[in-house]
Amino acid sequence: MPEAIWISFAFGLGLLIKTVHLPPLIGYLAAGFILSAMAANPSIPISPEPTAVLDHIAHLGVLLMLFTVGLKLKLKSVFSPEVIGGSLLHFSITALVFAPGIYLILEVSWYTALMLAIALSFSSTVLAAKVLENKRELRAFHGRVSIGILIMQDLIALVVMSLAAGQTPSQWALIVFGLPLLRPVLYKLLDASGHEELLVLLGLVLALVLGGLGFQAVGLSSELGALVFGAILANHPRSQELAKSLWSVKEIFLVGFFLQIGIDGLPGKDAILFAVVVALILPLKGILFFFLMLLFRLRARSSFLTSLALTNYSEFGLIVASVALPEWLVPLALSVALSFLISAPLNRLAHPLYERWSHRLVPFENDRRHPDELPISLGDTRVVVMGMGRTGTAAYDTLRDTEARLMALDSDLAKVARHQKQGRNVVYADAEDNTFWEALHMPSVEAVILAMGDIEAKLIAARMLRKLGFTGYIVAHTMFEDEAERIREAGANEAYLTMSETGVALASHLEQIAPEFSEPEVTLSQSNQQST
């Protein structure tokens, strides 16, 4: 069974590449090329042709990738000037500059030159998302801008793929405009699916069956269908849980896509030369992003970090090429791999690089600042609650009757808007964003409650508060004793175990039945404090 051999090679080389802190997909491409070279030797019984199984797996990977992109497609993350303007301007300038150069140098048709330029204009969603996630910067300002631009690029790629495919939709395609009416039904299905295997199966049904086969049946792109069904669910509270549950499945299927490219054939000298030249001009892509972000009033630091995250070529460009320019897949795949070899190490050093070059980059800043990067002042606030989930909201509501100078911070804009409508004094801020701490003024704050769900956010907040010279009281909650110890080491005065505190609170309600139960409550509370 050739697929077993291919999967084994993909795992081995993917693991090898991962040990040197590079994206495993470089190993998958390399595995495909090695298998193609081995198949050229008649004494080695390896089929040189991709099978229908591998083709199918590759296509499923693409559909799942688009579905997960759709799940992140929230209008608030896309409809901002720096995201829409930056992505469209970068795409237009890149296409207008690259296309004539490719046409003159490679002596290809204008159609081929334009499609190659378009494929090279995209940045990698997979690499950027993983880099930002590893650095805990997905919710930072530059992280949100980067992801927004990547979503816009994915939408542009989808339009290009649909036009290149030349599919003629049937009259039944008009049904698509009624799909938003299904949102309540899909929401109920998502709620009823629980948190385990049914959730994954629902995602597969929506992405592959209703989205993929459904759209294909009415003459539309299956890729468009997967994206649309993901976008319909984007505003559901559990959309990100669904995306996370599908992450591993999507990644496994995408292995087939990259493996298939390598198996299609070994790169020739021309393909290698093309990839090297394209890798050499990669810095121009990052420089263009940097100045476009400055144009939209981002600080030099945010512009630099955003542009560095986007300085690479995209696996989405390969998906576009698979439809529009299949004969250029191998050269483009090499270009993507080389860009990852360059981009991944640079992104790990992003902050030290900015510190080294900041004196040269800051003079390019616009005098007018982006609203999200203006200094934040807490005024005369005395107590701050960071994180307004269930625990943070309960803490805020408990304090609001006795503490007039109370403010809460949260990194979810939708959550902030909801709390503000309910009369709470909540503003947007992200504890994992260094920009927030650099611009923070808190002259009157005496106590901070860390109620964020993420342990890393609590650790960063505790460290940064102490680094800023805050000497007041910091208290946090967590589920685990080892995390409580880490939070205290980071600078918090106390970290309580959530479930222990819940038990104490439950026991305190017995006072309503009989006064004699009040004594055990004190004992429980003291016992809990000793344990934490």
- What is the distance between the alpha carbons of residues 490 and 510, in angstroms, rounded to a whole number? 36
Query: pLDDT 10s per residue in the chain (532 long)?
Result: 566 777 787 888 888 888 877 777 778 878 877 877 776 666 655 554 555 677 778 778 878 877 887 787 666 666 788 899 999 999 999 999 999 999 998 889 999 999 999 999 999 877 787 777 667 676 677 887 888 898 888 778 877 877 776 666 677 777 888 888 888 999 999 988 887 888 889 999 999 999 888 888 887 778 778 888 988 888 887 887 888 888 778 877 878 777 777 676 667 888 889 999 999 999 999 999 999 999 998 888 889 999 999 999 987 788 788 778 888 888 888 898 888 888 888 888 887 888 789 889 888 887 776 666 656 778 888 999 998 888 899 999 999 888 889 999 987 767 888 899 999 999 888 776 666 777 788 888 999 999 987 787 888 889 989 988 899 999 998 888 888 899 999 999 998 887 777 777 777 766 666 555 555 444 434 444 444 3
The CA-CA-CA angle for residues 240, 208, 242, to 5°, reads 15
Pair 383, 405: CB distance under 8 Å = yes
β-strand pairing of 383-386 with 376-377: unpaired
* Residues 373, 276: Cα–Cα separation, whole Å: 38
What phi, psi does 173 have (nearest 5°)? -65, -20
d(CA 436, CA 384): 15
Collapsed DSSP state (helix, strand, coil) of residue 476: strand
Cα(247)–Cα(347) distance, integer angstroms = 22
If we measure between CA atoms, which residue out of 210, 212, 197 comes closest to residue 242? Answer: 197
CA–CA dist 518, 246 (Å, integer): 49
